[in-house]
Amino acid sequence: MAKHSTIIGDITRRTTIYRVFPRNRFFELFGEKKNALVWPTMWEDPFENFILRSPVRTAAGETGEFAFHEDVYGQCWTLKKRSDAMWRIYSPKTDAVRVRTTVGRLIDSLCAANKGVTNDSCFIGKVDYPPDFELKKFARTVFKDGLNAEAVARSLLKKRDAFEHEDEVRLIYFEGQNSKHGGGVYKYELNPHAVFDQFMIDPRMSYKDFCTFKDEIVARTGIDEARIKRSLLYKPPEGFVVEIP
């Protein structure tokens, strides 16, 4: 496996995580059998990757910038099992599929794909959402033990508290071979049938369209239809009765 693989934060190998894939990306994942990580600079929040983007000042008073922006790739997942916000943000056409896996299976897939590669590092960690004053303190201390791969990964596990609702977990790969991947996208081989154990379709899709979409997924991917669910996020709870005294 890759030289380093580390789990950071209050999660374990057995922790369940989720990611919503738009329809075309979902079928691409199964067609290519490759998972895609991107440069953190491509994430939507303009304050993402804020530490690696910031000017650097050494103890000697020298200033500069980090030189390895293009060596780090990441992918965002969530701990949220039920979330209206996640569907609305990542499924704008109401036709996305949410996949489920565990922290262990996901990071193992990344490490296995880089077996025999030297100087690379694989991380997966829970994102924290501190207030701004704590972010500034973190920026001053994150590299106190040196500029190493784990410190870089930890710098990507902080986000402004305005995004706390996302409850993110991030898969992070530090490229150690000075390789450059087209368009800031790093893809690695992954068997989606082995890594993912449940597939859930957008709750806003009609039942008729859900059945059609499920049949298409089975035909194009070979997934057992028993593993394909329709989200019931908006279904009223059973036995819900309003009592009037």
Alpha helices in the chain (DSSP H): 23-32, 50-53, 84-90, 103-113, 132-141, 149-155, 192-195, 207-221
In whole angstroms, give the CA distance from residue 204 to residue 74. 29
**26 in Cβ contact with 103 (< 8 Å):** no
Angle between helices 23-32 and 207-221 (to 10 degrees): 20
Please report, in tens digits, the pLDDT of each residue of the chain (245 residues total).
444 678 999 999 999 999 999 999 999 999 999 999 998 877 766 566 666 666 666 666 666 555 556 688 999 999 999 888 889 988 999 999 999 999 999 999 999 988 766 557 899 999 999 998 888 888 888 888 777 888 888 889 988 888 898 999 999 998 866 666 778 899 999 999 999 999 999 999 999 999 999 999 999 999 999 999 999 887 766 766 778 88
The pTM (predicted TM-score) of the whole model is 0.86
CA torsion sign for 209, 214, 219, 221 is positive
Q: What angle do CA 161, 89, 32 make, to 5 degrees?
A: 115
